[in-house]
A and B are shown apart, each in its own frame.
Chain A
Amino acid sequence: EVQLVESGGGLVQPGGSLRLSCVGSGFAFSNYWMNWVRQAPGRGLQWVANIKQDGSKKYFLDSVKGRFTISRDNAKNSLYLQMKNLRAEDTAIYYCARDSILLGGVIFDWGMGTLVTVSP
């Protein structure tokens, strides 16, 4: 059974930083693109970033470019999202999501999410 478990969310002041982590199990982590997708309270889904299997390619939502970085450690089956200069509009549940082997295929599985709240 595929499991994705996020951690690292919390309350942070505007301009602050936070690092999210996700541990995957039940599948060959190193074989898949991985994503972060977020959902603001009462709003729809918004893709944030993704990373290729070996970390050599990364794509970001325009509004987070230069503020967020995505990385992975395949030896630890882990995905990370480093968030800096956080804004109120970054407040959301952040989901770790398993993509397919090929870019643009399908996002198969989702974690339960971790809540990030940006507020004074």
Chain B
Amino acid sequence: QSVLTQPPSASGTPGQRVTISCSGSSSNIGRNIANWYQQLPGMAPKLLIYGNNQRPSGVPDRFSGSKSGTSASLAISGLQSEDEADYYCATWDDSLKGWVFGGGTKLTVL
């Protein structure tokens, strides 16, 4: 059972907009910034969103992040087939004194 809660799956058709939620608590998302990672099949995770809503260089602006209270969200607009991957939210937990991750959301592009 992960400290951060994500839906196990999400799906959409090409061009659609999908959102993935991440629910935490006052000791993690409520106090610290949320980050999102994309993991393509057989690959290492890649930073997608940091600081709640910042995109690293090279990440398309189709990807956006937001945070409110103890929850964070990742939105992907203009869905493309290459977006099919696992997505993880992550943040530091002040009580556990460690990084915590969501269980991951498998995104399927129909």
Considering only CB atoms, which chain B residue lies closest to A111 in the complex?
B44
What sequence of 0s and 1s flags, for each residue 32-52 of chain A, a beta carbon within 8 Å of any chain B beta carbon?
A: 000101000000111100100
Residue numbers in A under 8 Å from B44 (CB-CB): 95, 110-113
Please report whether the interface of chain B is mostly helix, strand, loop or mixed according to DSSP: strand
| Cβ contact within 8 Å between A106 and B35 | yes
Within 8 A of A (CB), among B38-52: 39, 44-47, 50-51
Q: A37-B99, A106-B50 are in contact. Are A45 and B90 (CB under 8 A)?
A: yes
Q: Does A89 contact B (CB under 8 A)?
A: no
Provide a sorted-by-A list of 13 A–B residue pairs whose CB atoms are within 8 angstroms.
A44-B88, A44-B102, A44-B104, A45-B88, A47-B98, A50-B98, A61-B98, A104-B92, A104-B94, A105-B33, A106-B50, A108-B56, A111-B44
Name B residues whose Cβ lies closer than 8 Å to a Cβ of A: 2, 32-33, 35, 37, 39, 44-47, 50-51, 56, 86, 88, 90-92, 94, 96-104
